[in-house]
Amino acid sequence: MNRRDFVKSALAVPLMGAVGTGRAACPQAAERRVGDNAPYQGSKHPFVGKPLPPWKPGEFQVHFIYTGVAESMFWIMPDGTTMLLDCADHQAWTRGKLAVWVLPNGNRYAGEWIARYVSRVNPNKTDVDYMMLSHHHSDHGGMDGWGAGQPIDWKGQKIWRSGFMLAAETLKFRYGFDRGWPNFNEPVPDEQGDTECLNHIRKTIAYLQERDGLKMERFEVGAVNQVAMRRNAAEYPSFKITNICGNGKILCRDGSVKDLFDWMKGYKGWINENCFSLGLMVQYGPFRFYTAGDFAEQMKKPDGTRVWMEDCIAPELDPVDVAKMNHHGCYSMAKSIVSALQARVWTACVWDKVHLPEVTLERLADRSFYPGPRLIAPGVFTPKKRIEMAGRPFLADIAPESFEAGHMVLTVAPGGKTYNYAYVTADDESMKVTGAYDFIARGDGKS
């Protein structure tokens, strides 16, 4: 019996008296949540039990890859352009009782599992157009001192086979975006930031530039289609990607860019790397998707005043269909940003039981912030959390497929009028669908 099965078996009896185990916990919940605009929901969807349908030209697809130790998303744009946004190896399993299930198993590091997943779903096999790191933290981009086998010796430096570096043993990236490239010391010098991942990704980029001819660009806040379709963009004019935040700057409604750290000149204190996360807003016809790394920190200015990053960007955001929670839902998603985004589907890449605490879930489910149904769809919602939160109203909004853990796949139909959100097993590499939900994009005026 593996660790995951042991935990499930041990908790089965008490859970039956609380909120149940697995997808049987609330069999009618999905129908109650999604019934307004979904002909098939949850375990009743015709995809369930079958391999995930492959991407087709015209679809926009985002794969939220579950490993239990990291965050990683693989994008396939309507013309087949691809991007791996974050690819981490993190020592999350050392969290003891706070660790979540490592899937499919611990026999490979996350960077290798991610590369294998990408190779299965990528229409271009092992060729990936873009690699992008949302910010320099090990749970998003790998780290020195941790990884598979012996580090690579390159020009007198050791590069650990971790995150993007390990994935690049299988995948070949053509272009890359980073918030700090080429000098990596803006807006904060190395000594004021988080250097563990920064040093690793700096060497990884330089190595891949030499080995593969990787072409790098600095991520520019306010740019439209800097992250662009490169294969057949003209055929999909309603698809665009806007850079909405990065390096402590945000894009405002009037098109200007506001620097939230304009007070930093001469500042010598430490700044959390989360503050510099890169954010994107995707538009495909009436469909909208939001993602912004871990953009959810509190800034303490030299005068002692405190400012929440989410409160700064919220007034510049409009409602979306799907939103990836900031910072894994970990004491993030303030009232201001929940009320602004009003997502139909909230998702999160989870690698720790601390993620998605009760206070965050209460805000996401609060109908006074915005009305209507919603699906809260994290990569995993553990038995321990279900015991601790038994009886809480927000449990009715949580996708029961998350009780078993899995990859999540967003598929937006050509033109963006409808989209599907599916759970795919992470227990093995079969790509079997465990649950799926259909939606009509809110911008279409029908939901």
Whether 426 and 104 have beta carbons less than 8 Å apart is answered as: yes
- Cβ contacts of residue 107 below 8 Å, gap of 6+? none
Q: What are phi and psi of 282, to 5 degrees?
A: -105, 135
For residue 193, the model assigns a pLDDT of 65
From 255-269, 351-365, 382-396, the region with the lowest mean pLDDT: 255-269
pLDDT band, very low/low/confident/very high, at 44 (cuts 50, 70, 90): confident
pLDDT band, very low/low/confident/very high, at 1 (cuts 50, 70, 90): very low
From 26-35, 294-303, 374-383, the region with the lowest mean pLDDT: 26-35
List pLDDT tens digits, range 90-123: 888 788 889 999 999 999 999 999 999 999 999 9
Mean pLDDT of the chain: 88
From 272-276, 287-291, 422-426, the region with the lowest mean pLDDT: 272-276
* pLDDT > 70 fraction of the chain, expressed in percent and rounded: 87
User: Can you read off the two tokens belonging to residue 249?
Assistant: 């700057």
Burial of 203 (0-12, 13-18, 19+ CB in 10 A): buried
Helices (H), 24-71: 29-34
Q: Does the pLDDT at position 30 exceed 50?
A: no
Closest CA to 110 of 158, 171, 62, 167: 167
Whether 259 and 436 have beta carbons less than 8 Å apart is answered as: no
> No. of H helices and E strands in the chain?
10, 22
Q: Does the pLDDT at position 358 exceed 90?
A: yes
User: Can you read off the two tokens belonging to residue 25?
Assistant: 């916990």
Pick the CATH number of 3-444 from 3.30.420.40, 3.90.320.10, 3.60.15.10, 3.40.630.30: 3.60.15.10
Closest CA to 30 of 382, 397, 344, 441: 397
For residue 189, the model assigns a pLDDT of 67
For residue 96, the model assigns a pLDDT of 87
For residue 43, the model assigns a pLDDT of 82
d(Cα 145, Cα 192) in Å, to the nearest integer?
Answer: 20
Partnered with residue 66 across adjacent β-strands are none
d(Cα 92, Cα 434) in Å, to the nearest integer?
Answer: 25
Average pLDDT over residues 365-393: 95
Higher-pLDDT residue of 87 and 197 is 87
Average pLDDT over residues 81-96: 90
For residue 444, the model assigns a pLDDT of 63
List pLDDT tens digits, range 115-166: 999 999 999 999 999 999 999 998 999 888 888 888 999 999 999 999 999 9
pLDDT band, very low/low/confident/very high, at 40 (cuts 50, 70, 90): low
* pLDDT > 90 fraction of the chain, expressed in percent and rounded: 73
Higher-pLDDT residue of 21 and 70 is 70
Higher-pLDDT residue of 12 and 340 is 340
Higher-pLDDT residue of 255 and 93 is 255
Burial of 422 (0-12, 13-18, 19+ CB in 10 A): buried
Closest CA to 326 of 301, 369, 361, 297: 297
Whether 387 and 15 have beta carbons less than 8 Å apart is answered as: yes
Q: Does the pLDDT at position 221 exceed 80?
A: yes
Domain boundaries, the chain: 3-444
For residue 266, the model assigns a pLDDT of 66
d(Cα 27, Cα 47) in Å, to the nearest integer?
Answer: 17
Closest CA to 74 of 291, 117, 83, 134: 83
Higher-pLDDT residue of 88 and 252 is 252
For residue 146, the model assigns a pLDDT of 84
For residue 259, the model assigns a pLDDT of 93
Determine how β-strand 127-132 pairs with β-strand 172-178: parallel
Higher-pLDDT residue of 327 and 95 is 327
For residue 16, the model assigns a pLDDT of 22
- The single-letter code of the amino acid at 240 is K
- Cβ contacts of residue 171 below 8 Å, gap of 6+? 84, 115, 118, 119, 126, 127, 128
Average pLDDT over residues 338-352: 97
Q: Does the pLDDT at position 443 exceed 50?
A: yes
Average pLDDT over residues 38-51: 82
For residue 8, the model assigns a pLDDT of 41
pLDDT band, very low/low/confident/very high, at 35 (cuts 50, 70, 90): very low
End-to-end CA distance of the chain: 45
d(Cα 38, Cα 418) in Å, to the nearest integer?
Answer: 10
pLDDT band, very low/low/confident/very high, at 304 (cuts 50, 70, 90): confident
